[in-house]
Amino acid sequence: MMRIAVAQINAVLGDIEFNKNKILEYIEKARQRKVDLVVFPESSLLGYHPFDLLERDDLVETLEKTMCEIQKHIPSDLAVIYGTLTRNKSKKGRPYFNSAILLQKSKKPQVFNKQLLPTGDVFDEARFIEHGDLSKNVFKLKGKKFFLTICEDIWAWDYKKGSSSYIENPLKKIKEKNVDLVVNLSASPWFPGKEKMRHHVAQETAKHFKAPILYANLVGAQDEIIFDGASFVLSPQGKKMMQCQAFEEDLNIFDLDTNEAWAKPSHLSEIEKLHKALVLGIRDFCKKTGLTKVHLGLSGGIDSAVVACLAVDALGPHFVKSFALPGPYSTEKSLELAGQLAKNLKIEMFTSSINKPFETISKQIETEMEIKEFGLVHENLQSRLRGLFLMSYANHKNSLLLTTGNKSEYATGYSTLYGDMCGGLAPIGDLTKKQVYELAAYYNSTAKIIPQAIIDRPPTAELRPNQKDQDTLPPYEDLDKAVVNIVEKSKKPSNETEKWLIARLVATEFKRWQAAPILKASSHSFGRGRRWPLAHKAFKKN
Amino acid sequence: MMRIAVAQINAVLGDIEFNKNKILEYIEKARQRKVDLVVFPESSLLGYHPFDLLERDDLVETLEKTMCEIQKHIPSDLAVIYGTLTRNKSKKGRPYFNSAILLQKSKKPQVFNKQLLPTGDVFDEARFIEHGDLSKNVFKLKGKKFFLTICEDIWAWDYKKGSSSYIENPLKKIKEKNVDLVVNLSASPWFPGKEKMRHHVAQETAKHFKAPILYANLVGAQDEIIFDGASFVLSPQGKKMMQCQAFEEDLNIFDLDTNEAWAKPSHLSEIEKLHKALVLGIRDFCKKTGLTKVHLGLSGGIDSAVVACLAVDALGPHFVKSFALPGPYSTEKSLELAGQLAKNLKIEMFTSSINKPFETISKQIETEMEIKEFGLVHENLQSRLRGLFLMSYANHKNSLLLTTGNKSEYATGYSTLYGDMCGGLAPIGDLTKKQVYELAAYYNSTAKIIPQAIIDRPPTAELRPNQKDQDTLPPYEDLDKAVVNIVEKSKKPSNETEKWLIARLVATEFKRWQAAPILKASSHSFGRGRRWPLAHKAFKKN
């Protein structure tokens, strides 16, 4: 009997004391359930993704001290593996390793380092982390042989048509025989389809070693990135032998001798996953920045409606305030629908008209700048006045303004910089318009939370008379597909909408440079994982 | 006689046609001067830094086609080396190499790849670029043996106390004998002191190969990064045998047999370099984004004064417009000084009072949000109304708003998001307050451009009665030092100001996340080269 627990915890980046206590709490849970080994995710003592916090030495110093404190509390018959950073003691190379520590009572801690360092999309590990050497990552425990990997270490298997982002797969060079279990500590961001990719690489790894693999993934959100947990054990034949919950903390046990597992069944539909991901994203952003309140503008449209629903699920109605900010081109209907939604969600709604400020300032600007016709200046002015009201409230109440743009809007730059782009977090900034409607339908599938008219009416910014999004943008159905093909898959443009989109992307990149953090919910989101330059002439002749 | 030219060109990122023509133009110049080999900088056909434009295949396709076009135009007795990207034809590894091409009339082009890929600060080469193999980078030409390196390839030498960011220096493994010249193609960003660092690594390389080194650096600015050129030839003893101009295009010739060089002498003081760097930064940002006009708010303070001076140097007075935007707490003196400066610079100044909009909106907000006392909301409101006016003009005239914050302000978050932080480029965002004063003194050293009172008066945001920066911030003398120690050098805090600054950095990171691009003028700037997270608890207990 060799009982191994996965402790899927939600670590807070940089709160080493909190994470240590969380680790000790889960060690105690594991002890009570008579576990031989408990495995925590990658970087669970520091939290992940630290980005450039690693400029400062203090963090890793504290991590190293904390190891001793954890060891003091370990029961005599329980081994612990957790992820952390350790110092590269050589003067050569980058300053740290991304490590796993094997801790046992009264034994010297063993350190294993990550070899493959991801640098694509949101990852930046080759800035401060040095490569480890996987051939050193073998250890024995109670007569069993383990091979330890960290996240990216198992991702160099061939993917489509024999391709891989790595010249060599370091695992293929490991000739170690008779491994009983491969362990992988991960901090793997979620997006739709990610589970399948993990299953693929985990199974390839298990096959190679002819041993099961235990995949321990972090849960929780960090800025734009949402870690879903969903840790598992897989047989070399690809059978899931154990599965943890997604988007919440969990502890489950697997017996390496009997293949028995103790885990609650877990099955979520795709839309449930998306919903849980975004709720977790908002909740953890607030918790980990220390903010307790959020607010947003309700336009009577679908985007702000869905963001309001998500915010209420994340924080509860008492901590979500809403604003209706009617202007000269707002319809009565919009105001009424916003009010109805706020009522359904039991959130407070303030109403404040931008008419008078708009009149004052537009007159002044028209005169002083000799603007004779209604145009872009007036449209942006309305949007920026709304931003100004919402930011005044943010300053007054120390409340986080949620910005409500979706990915199709972001992609086309159909948004006003310093206007509706104001805010500290963009919860649906990585969702196509279609996904926003799907989430709305999901919300309405149990109770009628979102007034049907919000779903049915054509999208409009209401910044000029009878304006519709579709006056300026391609039909959302086409636009959404173009966004997926061009932004997420980097395909060659295959129709006019896609060609148009590339030109728009180039022309509006300056807006996204200054955008709020966007919760990542696709393989490639706007935000830190996508770094386009501004001053260039590429793709201008598409 | 073996005459080698360095063609230090200003490439436009993504404008492959433009860069090709520029390369052909310089090839012709070299031909006229009877040169045997002409060397262009790193990535000179594409421009640099492409960042994530490399998501899209189109660019490298075009680069490869363009090679043939260049070859067609090469004279029979002239060899050409230029930097570009080439496709990694294997299915394994990242999609491209950062390459140098040796082109000769009617000969098969030879390709050499960069091995070391920088990932620190502003660099992101490990996202799309695969490692090359330096041992293959030897070639012969007219009886001479050359060893070719690209930028980072020569940066793995030990630096302070025997430390290096690389575990191994690949150059130490190159045992090639009788090299006549080491060639290095670079796109190396400028900051004060960079020349010394380049001299160190170039000399170490030259010593290792017992051969001179020719260092061909790109010139021109790309978003936040300023390439200074200043290409050179160095003897193994560390003697500068040839030196190109800094911050402008140049072509100079060096004779490998006689050690003769043909170059204009070039010496710039540190302040001249800083000035030229920032002027180039503004000019190229405009040229390469396609914008022709800029504008800014003049507060009567030192920061906006210096930005105005730089803008005029970059674009000429006709293309720079200024705004005085007096509010309830502005002094007559500020308005007068702004006007005097605009007059001295011969730039147009518009005056527009924010008083009426401020009164209208503050009353409305006070009533609706039940705000009883003057405070942060009112201060930010004024700043945001100014942003609103300036952005209206940006929209109206398609003019680039320059934002005028300095690094000490950015570091402390002493600025209003969506207010004075509005703008498309922050020309002095990487300068301490001290450096801003030094630039002002430099401007006034020949003619009295900046009214002396702007330099002498204590800095103020004028957002409440008798406000001074020093009411809120530590004395700039202390703050500037803290910014250098904490932000640039990542030192441990050694006094109260430095401890305070770390806490401020953490608390205000959300503002910098949404900041405009900042011209990099130090070893570590805010902007894309510094990626701090938001939702964390690190350094909260300093």
Distance (Å) from the C-alpha of residue A326 to the closest C-alpha of chain B? 14
Parallel/antiparallel/unpaired status of strands B240-243 and B232-234: antiparallel
Q: Could you give the CA distance from residue A521 to residue A534 in angstroms, rounded to a whole number? A: 24
- Cβ–Cβ below 8 Å for A514 and B510: no
Does B262 lie in the same domain as B120? yes
Which residue among B14, B393, B535 sits closest to A289, beta carbon to beta carbon?
A: B535
Q: For the segment A185-197, what is each residue's pLDDT rounded down to a tens digit?
A: 999 999 999 999 9
Distance (Å) from the C-alpha of residue A137 to the closest C-alpha of chain B? 20
Does B285 lie in the same domain as B247? no
Assigned token pair, A411: 């992609």
Does A257 lie in the same domain as A337? no
Whether residue A193 is contained in a domain is answered as: yes
> Strand pairing partners for B296?
B322
Indicate if the alpha-carbon torsion angle B297, B298, B303, B305 is positive or negative: positive
Assigned token pair, A198: 């993990």
- Orientation of helix A376-397 relative to helix B355-368, angle to 10°: 50
> Higher confidence at residue A159 or residue A125?
A125
- Cβ–Cβ below 8 Å for B13 and A533: yes
- Cβ–Cβ below 8 Å for A59 and B365: no
Q: Could you give the CA distance from residue A300 to residue A457 in angstroms, rounded to a whole number? A: 10
Q: Could you give the CA distance from residue A96 to residue A126 in angstroms, rounded to a whole number? A: 10
CB A507 within 8 A of CB A413: yes
**Does residue A55 belong to the interface with chain B, where contact is any CB pair within 8 Å?**
yes
Whether residue A42 is contained in a domain is answered as: yes
Query: What's the angle, vertex CA A399, arms to CA A394 and CA A401, rounded to 5?
Result: 70
pLDDT score of B136: 97
SS (H, E, C) A148-175: EEEHHHHCCCCCHHHCECCCCCHHHHCC
- Residues composing chain B: 542
**Does residue A306 belong to the interface with chain B, where contact is any CB pair within 8 Å?**
no
pLDDT score of A159: 78
Assigned token pair, A455: 């779903």
> Is the pLDDT at A232 greater than 60, yes or no?
yes
User: Strands (DSSP E) along A197-347, which ranges?
Assistant: 213-217, 219-222, 225-228, 232-234, 240-243, 250-255, 261-262, 294-297, 320-324
Q: For the segment B302-323, what is each residue's pLDDT rounded down to a tens digit?
A: 999 999 999 999 999 999 999 9
- Cβ–Cβ below 8 Å for A510 and B424: yes
- Cβ–Cβ below 8 Å for B13 and A387: no
**Does residue A367 belong to the interface with chain B, where contact is any CB pair within 8 Å?**
no
Q: Fill in the amino acid letter for A483.
A: V
Q: Could you give the CA distance from residue A209 to residue B420 in angstroms, rounded to a whole number? A: 59
Q: Categorize the per-residue pLDDT at A60 as very low, low, confident or very high, splitting at 50, 70 and 90.
A: very high
CB A36 within 8 A of CB A18: no
Whether residue A418 is contained in a domain is answered as: yes
**Does residue B361 belong to the interface with chain A, where contact is any CB pair within 8 Å?**
yes
Does B174 lie in the same domain as B288? no
Assigned token pair, A403: 């910005």
Q: Could you give the CA distance from residue A407 to residue A394 in angstroms, rounded to a whole number? A: 24
Q: Which of B251, B281, B254, B263 has its CA nearest to residue B23?
A: B251
Does A188 lie in the same domain as A61? yes
CB B14 within 8 A of CB B47: yes
Q: Could you give the CA distance from residue A44 to residue A219 in angstroms, rounded to a whole number? A: 10
Q: For the segment A398-412, what is each residue's pLDDT rounded down to a tens digit?
A: 999 999 999 999 999
Among residues A151, A244, A309, A422, which one is catalytic?
A151
Chain B stretch 486-525, residues whose beta carbon is closer than 8 A to a beta carbon of chain A = 490, 492, 510, 513-517
Mention every residue, 6+ apart, whose C-beta is less than 8 A from residue B391: A380, A384, A417, A418, B401, B422
User: What is the domain range of residue B442?
Assistant: 273-469
Which H or E run contains A86? strand A79-87
Q: Could you give the CA distance from residue A228 to residue A220 in angstroms, rounded to a whole number? A: 7
Cα distances (Å, whole numbers) of residue B204 to A451, B177, B201: 71, 16, 5
Q: Fill in the amino acid letter for B390.
A: L
> Strand pairing partners for A339?
none
Cα distances (Å, whole numbers) of residue B521 to A445, A541, B311, B409: 55, 33, 16, 15
> Is the pLDDT at A251 greater than 90, yes or no?
yes
- Cβ–Cβ below 8 Å for A396 and B285: no
Distance (Å) from the C-alpha of residue B326 to the closest C-alpha of chain A? 14
Per the structure, how many domains does chain B have? 2
Does B308 lie in the same domain as B336? yes
Quickly tell me which residue has 């010593």 as its tokens.
B207
Mutate to test the interface with A, among B392, B490, B494, B509 (most CBs of A within 10 A): B392
Does B277 lie in the same domain as B261? no
Q: Which of B495, B461, B137 has its CA nearest to residue B331?
A: B461
Q: For the segment B430-489, what is each residue's pLDDT rounded down to a tens digit?
A: 999 999 999 999 999 988 999 999 999 999 999 999 899 888 899 999 999 999 999 999
Mutate to test the interface with B, among A390, A534, A539, A541 (most CBs of B within 10 A): A534
Whether residue A502 is contained in a domain is answered as: no
Q: Which residue positions in chain B have pLDDT lower than 50?
A: 542
Query: What's the angle, vertex CA A509, arms to CA A503 and CA A513, rounded to 5?
Result: 170
Indicate if the alpha-carbon torsion angle B374, B380, B384, B387 is positive or negative: positive
- Cβ–Cβ below 8 Å for A165 and B381: no
Cα distances (Å, whole numbers) of residue A366 to A42, A360, A376, B128, B384: 58, 10, 12, 48, 19
Indicate if the alpha-carbon torsion angle A138, A144, A149, A150 is positive or negative: negative
Assigned token pair, B526: 């805010």
Which residue among A376, A381, A532 sits closest to B53, beta carbon to beta carbon?
A: A532
Q: Fill in the amino acid letter for B528.
A: R
Residues of B acting as catalytic residues: 42, 114, 151
Preceding amide of A267 cis, omega within 30: no
Chain A stretch 163-192, residues whose beta carbon is closer than 8 A to a beta carbon of chain B = 163-168
Domain final residue pick, A244, A263, A282: A263
pLDDT score of A542: 43
Assigned token pair, A162: 């024999």
Chain A residues in contact with B288 by the CB 8 A cut-off are 535-537
Query: Is A145 a residue of the active site?
Result: no
CB B41 within 8 A of CB B83: yes
Mention every residue, 6+ apart, whose C-beta is less than 8 A from residue A391: A401, A422, B380, B384, B417, B418
Q: Could you give the CA distance from residue B222 to residue A536 in angstroms, rounded to a whole number? A: 8
Does B28 lie in the same domain as B127? yes
- Cβ–Cβ below 8 Å for B533 and A51: yes
- Cβ–Cβ below 8 Å for B510 and A51: no
CB A215 within 8 A of CB A182: no
Chain A residues in contact with B164 by the CB 8 A cut-off are 91-93
Q: Could you give the CA distance from residue B206 to residue B415 in angstroms, rounded to a whole number? A: 47
pLDDT score of A392: 98
Does A168 lie in the same domain as A245? yes
Q: Could you give the CA distance from residue B223 to residue A494 in angstroms, rounded to a whole number? A: 30
Q: For the segment A16-55, what is each residue's pLDDT rounded down to a tens digit?
A: 999 999 999 999 999 999 999 999 999 999 999 999 999 9
Whether residue A519 is contained in a domain is answered as: no
Does B314 lie in the same domain as B174? no
Q: Fill in the amino acid letter for A320.
A: V
Q: Could you give the CA distance from residue B522 to residue B530 in angstroms, rounded to a whole number? A: 12
Whether residue A314 is contained in a domain is answered as: yes
Which H or E run contains A8? strand A3-8
Chain B residue at shortest CA distance from A125: B119
Interface confidence, given as ipTM, is: 0.97
Q: Could you give the CA distance from residue B254 to residue B271 in angstroms, rounded to a whole number? A: 29
Chain B residues in contact with A350 by the CB 8 A cut-off are 368-369
Q: Fill in the amino acid letter for B259.
A: N
Q: Which of B170, B107, B183, B108 has its CA nearest to residue B144?
A: B183
Chain B residues in contact with A221 by the CB 8 A cut-off are 535
Domain final residue pick, B200, B231, B266: B266
Q: Could you give the CA distance from residue B326 to residue B330 in angstroms, rounded to a whole number? A: 5
Does B237 lie in the same domain as B111? yes
Whether residue B317 is contained in a domain is answered as: yes
Quickly tell me which residue has 């043996």 as its tokens.
B145
Q: Could you give the CA distance from residue A334 to residue B101 in angstroms, rounded to a whole number? A: 61
pLDDT score of A541: 63
- Cβ–Cβ below 8 Å for B52 and A535: no
Chain A residues in contact with B392 by the CB 8 A cut-off are 365, 369, 377, 380-381
Mean pLDDT of A284-304: 98
Q: Categorize the per-residue pLDDT at A164 as very low, low, confident or very high, splitting at 50, 70 and 90.
A: confident
- Cβ–Cβ below 8 Å for B395 and A376: yes
Does A253 lie in the same domain as A296? no
Chain B residues in contact with A510 by the CB 8 A cut-off are 289, 424
Q: Could you give the CA distance from residue A355 to residue A360 in angstroms, rounded to a whole number? A: 9
Task: Give the gyration radius of chain B's Cα atoms.
Answer: 25
- Cβ–Cβ below 8 Å for B396 and A377: yes
> Is the pLDDT at A161 greater than 80, yes or no?
no
Q: How many CB pairs under 8 A join A and B?
A: 259
CATH of the domain at B365: 3.40.50.620
Chain A residues in contact with B52 by the CB 8 A cut-off are 530-532
Quickly tell me which residue has 């009883």 as its tokens.
B372
Preceding amide of A49 cis, omega within 30: yes
Whether residue A33 is contained in a domain is answered as: yes
Q: Could you give the CA distance from residue A462 to residue A333 in angstroms, rounded to a whole number? A: 12
Alpha helices (runs of H) in B53-107, residue ranges in sequence order:
58-72
pLDDT score of B158: 87
Among residues A20, A22, A42, A130, which one is catalytic?
A42
A164 burial (CB, 10 Å; 0-12 / 13-18 / 19+) is middle
B151 burial (CB, 10 Å; 0-12 / 13-18 / 19+) is buried
pLDDT score of B264: 82
pLDDT score of B541: 62
Query: What's the angle, vertex CA B211, arms to CA B210 and CA B216, rounded to 5?
Result: 140
Domain final residue pick, A438, A469, A500: A469
CATH of the domain at A162: 3.60.110.10
C-alpha count within 13 angstroms, C-beta hemisphere, residue B359? 6
Assigned token pair, B120: 């620190």
